[in-house]
Amino acid sequence: MKPTDPFNRPIFLDLRRIRFPVGAIASILHRITGVILLAAIPAALGLIAYSSRSPDHFRTVARWLDGPVIAVLLALVMGAAVHHLLAGLRILFMDAGWGVDRATARRTAWGSLMAAAVAVVATAGWLLSGGGGHVP
């Protein structure tokens, strides 16, 4: 028996073929980036606590964070923070009644997504070029 609704319309549940509007993608990513940032807090606090024990511990943490994989991971967390901030402001403004028309809502959704992408590329480029500093 195929699932249908009371109006006998077919239910389409293949999420790979559904085309979400950009506002929905920005909203879903806002939730996902919130979870990513929430998970990053204990890791950051643990690294700060460990590195503040002594200069040797600080150098150990600096060595752990020195590398291209960690640079990309940190860049993704930075992109998550930027997107979460901008998408959150976008939602607050829309709740206040500003930017609720379709054209403005789409522009602000694209803006938050593009700003996050720029933040990821800029942060990764900066960290990979040695901009994060080097601790001997």
pLDDT by residue for the chain (136 residues), tens digit each? 455 567 777 776 777 777 889 999 999 999 999 999 999 999 999 999 999 999 999 999 999 998 889 999 999 999 999 999 999 999 999 999 999 999 999 999 999 999 999 999 999 999 988 887 767 6
Q: 136 in a domain, yes or no?
A: no
CA distance 64 to 70: 8
- Please answer whether residues 97 and 53 qualify as being in contact, where contact means their C-beta atoms are separated by less than 8 angstroms: no
Token pair listed for 100: 């609720």
Q: 43 in a domain, yes or no?
A: no
Phi-psi region of 90 (alpha: psi -120 to 50; beta: other; left: phi over 0): alpha
- Residue entry with tokens 């204990």: 42
Q: pTM for the full model?
A: 0.83
Q: 53 in a domain, yes or no?
A: no
- Up-side HSE of residue 32: CA atoms within 13 Å toward CB? 11
Q: 10 in a domain, yes or no?
A: no
Residue 84: domain span: 22-38+67-128
| pLDDT score recorded for residue 1 | 45
Q: 79 in a domain, yes or no?
A: yes
Q: 60 in a domain, yes or no?
A: no
* Count of structural domains within the chain: 1
Q: 52 in a domain, yes or no?
A: no
| pLDDT score recorded for residue 131 | 80
Radius of gyration of the chain from its Cα atoms, rounded to whole angstroms: 21
Q: 73 in a domain, yes or no?
A: yes
